[in-house]
Amino acid sequence: MTDSETGVEIRTDQGTAYGLTPGSHDPDLTEVGAGSPMGELMRRYWHPISLSEDATDLPAAVRILGEDLILFRSTDGQPGLVHPRCVHRGSSLLYGRVDDHGIRCCYHGWAFDTEGNCTDQPCEPQNGANRDKFRQPWYPVEERYGLIWAYLGPPEKKPLLPRYSTFEDLGDDEHIFTDDKNIGSGRYFSGIVPFNWLQHFENILDTAHFYWLHFFHSGPQFGSRYGEFDVLDFQPWEKLGGLEWNITTTGVAVDRSAEIPDGRVLHTTTETVLPGVRGVSNPFGDPGPTDSLGFVVPVDDTNFKIFTVLRGKDRSFFERIESMRRPGADPHADPSQAQRFPGDWEAQGSQGAITLHSEEHLASSDRGVRMLRRLLRDQMTVVADGGNPLNVAFEAGNEVVQIKAGQYFQK
Ligand code: FES
Ligand SMILES: [Fe+2]
C-alpha cells in the first residue's frame, strides 16, 4: 500500500492481535443443560455420579449435567437421588435425615422414599391423608462396578444400565476396583476438573499430543515399555502418518502401529465410546485388551469428573498411576514446574473454561477430533428426531457394550 499524497510505500504489520474478536464456543457441542441438544443426548444415558461407598446415611450434594441433586442411602441399603428442594416449602434435603426407606426433611418431617413418594407427613392430621398426592422429584439410580449410576432423561426412554465387555467373565482371582481421582486429567485428586468435558474427551483421539506433549515437550510423562516412543530421533509426522481413525459402531477409535526396536510391530487401539467412555490400553502389564475404562461425566458446562473402573487382582494399577505423578502436577508446588513440564491439565485447561471453537484451525492431526464432533452432532440429531442414540439397549442380553481398546503384537 502506498500513501496517496506522497507515493511512499506504507508498511503495516500484519496479523497483530489488534482488533482481535473475543471468539465463541459452540454451545451445541459443549453445553449439557436440560433442553440443549447435547444435554438431551447426554440424558439418554446412565452416568456414574459417585463411588458406591460415598452414598451413605449423610446426604451428599452432587451436581451432574448442570443439575444439583441430593444423593443418600437409606438404612435398608437403597441409594436415592432427589431434587434438593423439598416439595412442601423448599428446605434442602441436604439437611434431611435418612431412615429405613428414604429421607425425611428437617423442617416439618415429610418423608420420601427413594422414588420420591411421600410416605409420611407427621405434622398433618392422620400423617397426611393426602400425602399420596405429593412426590419429591427424583431420578432412578443403580449400582454397578462400585459406582452409583443415574439416569436423568425421559422415563419412557430409560435404557438398561450398560455392562462393558472389559469387565465381563472375571477370573476367580479377579475383582472390580473403582477410583474417582480423575485419572487422565493430569492431576490425581478427588475433586472436579474445572473445564468443559469435551476438551478432555476429544483429547483421547488426539494422538499427536501424545507424541508431542507427553514425550517430546515435557516428557517422557508415560512409560514407553517397548521403546515405541523413541524421542531422541523424534519425527512426529512420520509416526503420526501411520494413524487410522474410524467411526465405529460405538464411538470413534484410533489405531496405530509402531515398529519397536526388536522388529516386532505393536498395534494399539484407543477409543471414545459414547457417551463419555475412554478406552486406553493399559500402560502396565502385558499386551491385550485394556483392563480399565475411564468414565468422563459432565458436572456442568465448565466442570467434569472422571471415574475409572479396573479389573484386576488388586488396586496396584491406581497406586502406580499415582506414583507416576509428573513434575508440575501438584498445584501446591512451584508453579514454574507446570510451565516447564506441562501435561494434560495445562494443555486442556488452558484452552479455556470452554474452548473457543470459532478461533480454532483444525489440521490433519485433528482428524479424530473432527470425527468425534461429527458423530456427536449426528447423535444429537438422532435424539432430536425421536430416535435412540448409540450404545443404548432395552432388551436384557443386549446391554453389553463391546470395548476394542487394547494393544497387541502383529503376527
Ligand atoms: S419444607 Fe420440607 S417438610 Fe416442610
Ligand atoms: Fe494426554
Q: What is the CATH number for 272?
A: 3.90.380
Let me know if residue 8 belongs to a domain. no
Question: Where does the pLDDT of residue 239 fall: very low under 50, low under 70, confident under 90, or very high at 90 and above?
Answer: low
Distance between CA atoms of 356 and 29, rounded to whole angstroms?
12
Over range 161-190, report the average pLDDT. Answer: 96
Distance between CA atoms of 106 and 239, rounded to whole angstroms?
62
3-state SS, one letter per residue, for the chain: CECCCCCCECCCCCCCCCCCCCCCCCHHHHCCCCCCHHHHHHCCCEEEEEEHHHCCCCCEEEEECCEEEEEEECCCCCEEEECCECCCCCCEHHHCEECCCEEECCCCCCEEECCCEEEECCCCHHHCCCHHHCECCEECEEEECCEEEEECCCHHHCCCCCEEHHHCCCCCCCEEEEECCCCCCCCCCCCCECCCHHHHHHHCCCHHHHHHHHHHHCCCCCCCCCCCCCCCCCCHHHHHCCCEEEECCCEEEEEEEEECCCCCEEEEEEEEECCCEEECCCCCCCCEECCEEEEEEEEECCEEEEEEEEEECCCHHHHHHHHCCCCCCCCCCCHHHHHHCCCHHHHHHCCCCCCCHHHCCCCHHHHHHHHHHHHHHHHHHHHHCCCCCCCCCCCCCCCEECCCCEEEECC
178 and 274 inside one domain: yes
Confidence at residue 192, expressed as pLDDT on a 0 to 100 scale: 98
169 and 290 inside one domain: yes
206 and 328 inside one domain: yes
165 and 113 inside one domain: no
Q: Among residues 400, 184, 164, 390, which one has the least CA distance to residue 289?
A: 164
- Mind listing the pLDDT tens digit for each residue in 367-388? 999 999 999 999 999 999 999 9
Atom of ligand 1 nearest to the CA of 86: 2
Let me know if residue 23 belongs to a domain. no
Q: Give me the torsion for CA of 350, 356, 357, 361, rounded to 10°.
A: -60
Provide the residue type at 194 as one letter. Answer: P
Q: Which residue has the higher pLDDT, 319 or 168?
A: 168
Over range 225-242, report the average pLDDT. Answer: 68
265 Cβ contact partners less than 8 Å away, ≥ 6 residues apart: 257, 258, 259, 409, 410
Question: Where does the pLDDT of residue 5 fall: very low under 50, low under 70, confident under 90, or very high at 90 and above?
Answer: confident
CATH, residue 71: 2.102.10.10
127 and 270 inside one domain: no
Let me know if residue 24 belongs to a domain. no
Out of 70, 83, 85, 91, give the residue to mutate to test ligand 1, the one with the largest number of ligand atoms within 8 Å of its CB.
91
Question: Where does the pLDDT of residue 216 fall: very low under 50, low under 70, confident under 90, or very high at 90 and above?
Answer: confident
Question: Where does the pLDDT of residue 230 fall: very low under 50, low under 70, confident under 90, or very high at 90 and above?
Answer: low
176 and 116 inside one domain: no
Atom of ligand 1 nearest to the CA of 108: 3
Distance between CA atoms of 29 and 24, rounded to whole angstroms?
12
Over range 347-358, report the average pLDDT. Answer: 98
Residues in contact with ligand 1 by the CB-under-6-Å rule are: 86, 88-91, 105, 107-110
Chosen domain end from 143, 175, 201: 143
| Rounded distance from Cα 75 to ligand 1 centre (Å) | 21
Confidence at residue 290, expressed as pLDDT on a 0 to 100 scale: 96
Question: Where does the pLDDT of residue 10 fall: very low under 50, low under 70, confident under 90, or very high at 90 and above?
Answer: confident
235 and 286 inside one domain: yes
In the chain, pLDDT over 70 holds for what percent of residues? 96
Question: Where does the pLDDT of residue 106 fall: very low under 50, low under 70, confident under 90, or very high at 90 and above?
Answer: very high
Q: Does position 214 have pLDDT exceeding 80, yes or no?
A: yes
Q: Does position 111 have pLDDT exceeding 60, yes or no?
A: yes
Let me know if residue 389 belongs to a domain. yes
241 and 386 inside one domain: yes
Q: What is the mean pLDDT of the chain?
A: 93
- Which residue has a Cα nearest atom 1 of ligand 1? 89
| Rounded distance from Cα 344 to ligand 2 centre (Å) | 5
176 and 216 inside one domain: yes
Cβ proximity of 250 and 391 under 8 Å: yes
Let me know if residue 191 belongs to a domain. yes
Q: Does position 326 have pLDDT exceeding 80, yes or no?
A: no
Over range 180-200, report the average pLDDT. Answer: 95
Confidence at residue 195, expressed as pLDDT on a 0 to 100 scale: 98
Confidence at residue 233, expressed as pLDDT on a 0 to 100 scale: 60
For 33-44, b/e burial (b = at least 16 CB within 10 A) is beebbbbbbbbb
Q: How many structural domains are present in the chain? A: 2
Question: Where does the pLDDT of residue 270 fall: very low under 50, low under 70, confident under 90, or very high at 90 and above?
Answer: very high
Q: Does position 59 have pLDDT exceeding 80, yes or no?
A: yes
Confidence at residue 204, expressed as pLDDT on a 0 to 100 scale: 97
Distance between CA atoms of 270 and 210, rounded to whole angstroms?
12
- Which residue has a Cα nearest atom 3 of ligand 1? 108
Q: Does position 231 have pLDDT exceeding 70, yes or no?
A: no
Over range 207-211, report the average pLDDT. Answer: 89
Distance between CA atoms of 359 and 17, rounded to whole angstroms?
13
Q: Of the ligands numbered here, which is closest to the C-alpha atom of 344?
A: 2
Over range 174-182, report the average pLDDT. Answer: 97
Let me know if residue 113 belongs to a domain. yes
Q: Does position 327 have pLDDT exceeding 90, yes or no?
A: no
196 and 132 inside one domain: no
| Rounded distance from Cα 409 to ligand 2 centre (Å) | 23
Over range 395-400, report the average pLDDT. Answer: 96
| Rounded distance from Cα 307 to ligand 2 centre (Å) | 16
**Domain enclosing residue 85, as ranges:** 47-143
253 and 371 inside one domain: yes
Determine whether 111 is exposed, middle or buried from the number of CB atoms within 10 Å of its CB (0-12, 13-18, 19+).
buried
